Chain A
Amino acid sequence: MSNKGAKNLFIYGSLFFFVILVLLTIDTMDQIDRKAPEITASVDAGKMVWHKYDCIGCHTILGNGSYFAPDMTKTAENKPKGYLKKFLMDPKAVNPGASMPKLGITSEEADNLIAFLEWIAKVDTNGWPPKPILAAAAGSGGKELSAGQRVYQSLGCSNCHIINGIGGTSGPDISRVGSKRDREWLFGHFKKPEAYVPNSAMPAVSASDADIEQLTDYMLSLK
């Protein structure tokens, strides 16, 4: 191939692929809004709060960002709203082990940010993040779950609490909670957390008394 041929191949070939990228971009722009819920004024304001505090300087969102702190794509799905609001405004007051500093996020900003996180959690991301294989398989390995364990799973308690290594770090590790608390405390706490732990960020458990009894039994077995 002559130098001129190589040069023309470079120029026209690159232009060809760039035109394809532009065409695909036009189509993608058309489809993006259909793969996500409507953007309300609150969602838009929340996105600006996300930018203002440079959240991406530590977190990732849609998997892109700084890899220093958890990904925020599904946070609104996994954590109670009341917890999120308290955490955003003063992280260490809610979770003493948290690395996140108190940034001065106001109550209104926190509400908008949560609206934004609720929006992003509903974006159709082609199935990302995938459900963890081994956690999804837990309990289906031939061992029957107890009634309390089933309540624990159905309420999504493990989004915030750890039992035997599995679960979230937003709330305390409850692997041995049965040796620390009695039945009365646990039952009452599930009904009204802030009456037992001042300024608790945990939401009251919304389930029947029978289910809460079974959940309490399960907690008492954790020793």
Chain B
Amino acid sequence: MKYQSQKLAQHFYTFAVVLFLVQVLVGVIAAAQFIWPDFFILNFNTIRTLHINALVVWLLVGLMGATYYVVPEESQSELWNLPLAKLQFWATVIATSAVIVGYIIQGLFPQANTLIFGTLALNEGREYIEAPRWADWLIAISVILFLIINFMTMFKSKKWTGIQGTLLAGLTFLALMYLPGMVYMKSMVKDQYWWWWVVHLWVEGAWEVIAGALLAFMLMKVTNAKREVLEKWMYLEVGLVLFTGILGTGHHYYWIGTPGYWLWIGGIFSSLEPIPLLMMVWDAFRTTREHRVVSNKLGLFYATAHAIFNFVGAGLWGVIHTLPQVNKWTHGTQLTTAHGHLAFYGAYVLLVMAMIYITLPLIRGAANFDTSRGYRSFWWLTISMVFIVLTITGAGMVQTYMERLMGLDYVAVKANYNLWFWIFRGIFGLGFLYGTWLFVLDFFKLGKEQAKA
């Protein structure tokens, strides 16, 4: 670490890993509620809202921290206006906490979720973007501040690199794509249409662009590979991500009351979406093979694992049910849940973890940190997640066959035929919780305990 302001990343990482633990804890409760619906004081809908919102926020906060590390390094200057950046951090913490309290109040007293100026006060009741409108504005202000600080750092230093340019392009795209979710639509069809602009163009657009830029940064950082080569690959990867991903949005427009041409557009473009993800895997292996001197083996391990599971989770697990002929039967089943879990884990959880393991030792001045807990955490998390995904995939296949093909009732299939899948999912959920705990522990102890010889 060359610049003092890069230390700010640590604030964001800390908040991110705490929310990660919260996310996994409520995830385990949600898994138990699949078996016993009345398991907890809060109903499933509130637990699920917390589970997915904590996920999105901790990944975003983690990516913000990573950006605050990358931009000074690439611009070769201190961050523009560090106090403002600190304010942005605390504003994010306070806004997020207020939203969480609001969800819990809504869960305990649904009647408290009243209309204020035509929008719901505590929970908008829209998956992933449940945050009420007042919070949307706070989030928007925080993100705009964040972008201004980073752009100003670049402008002041006049050092533009491909990596930071692409990173900030991805982040700007991300910020812009939050806006279509902030307009009320009377028609549920239009509501879902714009909702997918947010959700799909985030995770299969802007976030993958960010992932491409950070992958290039990480590979350069740990293997000393040539910037020119990495950046060219990066441009091709993120280019293909958007060429396929933007119109790939169409795979969400098959069955929601939209015109039939989306079946063609969505089917064709989303089938191509795994290609750039496979290129990222190839990129990671090629760079590793060509550069034998690795400064941070654990970091490279996580970065490569991210590339692999991004391809498997977001790519393969998505493409198996993306064709309309298949999706007609699988749409809205547990197969989507399985895809969602492995995609988020591979594409973004491992990405933020990789960034933490590559930058945190440098921030703490502990390049030779003890990596054993980091590896143990990886195997607990990854093996557990793979089995969580396999159990949900099994449940989804049973559901598709029994409910969609045979015509059995949803509740009968869920409560009877899929019960064992839920039980195993819960057990592997506990394994995942242990892995998360190991990671959080490692995060707080890294560089502060004696490295083993």
Contact = CB atoms under 8 A, between A and B. Distances in A.
Interface string A26-52: 011101110110010000100110111
B106 interface: yes
A165 interface: yes
B127 A64 contact: yes
Contacts of A29: 190, 193
A169 B239 contact: no
B334 A28 contact: no
A129 B49 CA distance: 26
A28 B253 CA distance: 10
B247 A20 contact: yes
A163 to B, nearest CB: 12
B137 interface: no
A127 B257 CA distance: 10
Contacts of A101: 38, 43
A132 B404 contact: yes
Given A9-B239, A126-B255, A54 B186 contact: no
B interface: dominant SS? helix
Contact of A55 (B125, B257, B331, B333): B125
Contacts of A80: none
A53 B332 contact: no
B172 interface: no
B46 A62 contact: no
A108 interface: no
Interface stretch (A117-125, A174-182, A187-195, A205-213): A117-125
A173 to B, nearest CB: 9
Interface stretch (B61-69, B110-118, B142-150): B110-118
Interface string B173-195: 00000000000001111111101
Nearest to A99: B37
Nearest to B111: A104
Contacts of B228: 3
A217 interface: no
Contacts of A6: 231-232, 235-236, 239
Interface string A75-119: 000000000000000000000000101011000000000001001
A65 B195 CA distance: 12
A33 to B, nearest CB: 7
B186 A32 contact: no
Interface string B149-167: 0000000000000100010
A51 to B, nearest CB: 3
Contacts of B242: 10, 13-14, 17-18
A125 B257 contact: yes
Contacts of A132: 403-407
A63 interface: yes
B162 A7 contact: yes
A221 interface: no
B126 interface: yes
The interface centre, meaning the residue of B228, B258, B262, B411 with most chain A CB atoms within 10 A of its CB, is B258
Nearest to B115: A48
A17 to B, nearest CB: 4
B13 interface: no
B168 to A, nearest CB: 13
Contacts of B130: 54
B239 A13 contact: yes
B83 interface: no
A3 B193 contact: no
Given A32-B257, A66-B48, A127-B328, A51 B189 contact: no
A129 B249 contact: no
A201 B43 CA distance: 25
Contacts of B187: 32-33, 36, 39
A126 B263 contact: yes
A53 B254 contact: no
B49 A57 contact: yes
B408 interface: yes
Listed residue (A66, A124, A126) with the most chain B CB atoms within 10 angstroms of its CB: A126
Most buried by B among A14, A25, A61, A162: A14
A57 B412 CA distance: 20
Nearest to B411: A169
A67 B127 contact: no
Contacts of A167: 409
B110 A128 contact: no
Given A28-B253, A55-B125, A120-B188, A130 B404 contact: yes
A51 B121 CA distance: 11
A176 to B, nearest CB: 16
B54 interface: no
A30 to B, nearest CB: 9
19 contacts: A3-B232, A6-B236, A9-B235, A32-B193, A44-B186, A58-B48, A62-B192, A65-B332, A70-B411, A123-B256, A125-B255, A125-B256, A126-B263, A128-B254, A128-B255, A132-B404, A134-B407, A138-B407, A165-B408
Interchain residue pairs A-B with the least CB separation, the first 4? A57-B45, A135-B407, A63-B332, A132-B407
Interface of B: 33-34, 37-38, 43-46, 48-49, 106, 110-111, 113, 115, 120, 123-127, 130, 162, 166, 186-193, 195, 228, 231-232, 235-236, 238-239, 242-243, 246-247, 249, 252-263, 265, 328-329, 331-334, 336-337, 403-412
